[in-house]
Amino acid sequence: MSRFDLYLNTFNAYRLEEVKKKNPSGLYDPINYLLDQPSKQIRPLLCLLSYHLYEEQWNRALPQALAVELFHNFTLMHDDIMDEAPMRRGSAAVHIRYGLNAGILSGDALLILTYHYLPRDLEPTAALEALQLFNRIAIQICEGQQYDMDFENEAEVDESMYMRMIRYKTAVLLGASMALGALAAGASALDMDLIFQCGENMGMAFQIQDDYLDVFGQMDSVGKRSGGDILQRKKTLLYIKALELASDSDRKILGEIYHRPTTLVDSDVNRVKGIFRSLRLNELCAEMKQSYFTRGMDQLNQVSTNTTVKALIGELFTQLLDRSS
């Protein structure tokens, strides 16, 4: 039994009770279809663990944990539509299974439900602070998604531009998930800032690992097509570093593939993967990931609170970032 099962089992029982299958089914079936699919549920788990840093009754943060999970799934549902992605978590994406209109409207409902649960059971001052924090993060996530889409048409994307994009699109929500748990437990402003930075740095490490796994992970393990970022010509960290480090001939190949007007095929993906391998980008990704992980742990360790729960959070991040698929 995992050391995190109690948190996750309690969370999922709460989710199933709160987000029930109800009418109109055309609205709620797509929501429950996505929520019921196997996933790591990192964000609600981090929210509950961060509350537990300060208070024993960590189940009091279940509404905030549900809010961040609903919001995360909202972003996935709409991202898949924008990316025209056929799969999510090893199954058909919502817009493929239920249709485009259902994907848009059910995603909208997930966003609204987020704000239903976010302030629940919080004191008025804390509720306002939670809403202010979340609004700031939510708009950054939208900005990150726009940067990601813009990159598809940009001739050049440098590393700093890319890091800003993944910080907004991915990392800040992990930071907010932790900060909301700490806020609900009454943590100090200093602790909330440290905990947010911890989650944000871990989110950066997590996204770097995800970029690597998208290229080299197995489809059955990562729940989506291997090399999907290449097929979509996404200018990920691997692509940016490859342009920086590659020979003139390999750089020319990358340019031809990524700027070709016709649809890419598997042979194109394999050529790009070959260049990435030859440049040993797996080692570079590992070094960058470790740097963000170390920063995140340093920030967590500055928080003077429950050392047992701090160790659990560190264990969770280590498991997530050591995965190979």
Chain segment 117-139, per-residue pLDDT in tens: 999 999 999 999 999 999 999 99
Q: What is the mean pLDDT of residues 85-106?
A: 95
The DSSP-derived string for 114-182 is HHHHTTTT--HHHHHHHHHHHHHHHHHHHHHHHHHHHHTT-S---HHHHHHHHIIIIIHHHHHHHHHHH
Long-range CB contact pairs, 19-26, < 8 A, 24+: 19/66, 19/70, 19/113, 26/98, 26/102
Give the 3-state secondary structure of residue 236.
coil
Quick one: CA torsion of 285, 199, 166, 222, rounded to 10 degrees? 60
Task: Please tell me the predicted confidence (pLDDT) of residue 159.
Answer: 95
Residue among 168, 194, 166 at smallest CA distance from 179: 194
- pLDDT band per the 50, 70, 90 thresholds, residue 106: very high
Q: What share of the chain has pLDDT > 90, as a percent?
A: 79
**Dist CA 306 CA 310 (whole Å):** 6
Q: Give the mean model confidence (pLDDT) for residues 234-254.
A: 94
Residue 173 has pLDDT above 70, yes or no: yes
Provide the pLDDT for residue 1.
47
Helix extents (H) in the chain: 5-18, 25-35, 42-52, 62-83, 94-98, 100-117, 124-151, 159-166, 172-184, 189-216, 219-222, 228-231, 237-245, 248-258, 266-278, 281-301, 307-322
Q: Is 265 helix (H, G, I), strand (E, B) or coil?
A: coil
Which residue has tokens 């249709």? 99
Does the pLDDT of residue 153 top 90, yes or no? no
| Mean of pLDDT values over 73-88 | 93
Would the pLDDT of 289 be above 90? yes
Instruction: Please give the residue that has the higher pLDDT: either 152 or 294.
Output: 294
The pLDDT value given to residue 304: 85
Whether the Cβ atoms of residue 151 and residue 235 lie closer than 8 Å to each other: yes
232-244 mean pLDDT: 91
Each residue's pLDDT tens digit, 200-230:
999 999 999 988 888 877 654 444 567 878 9
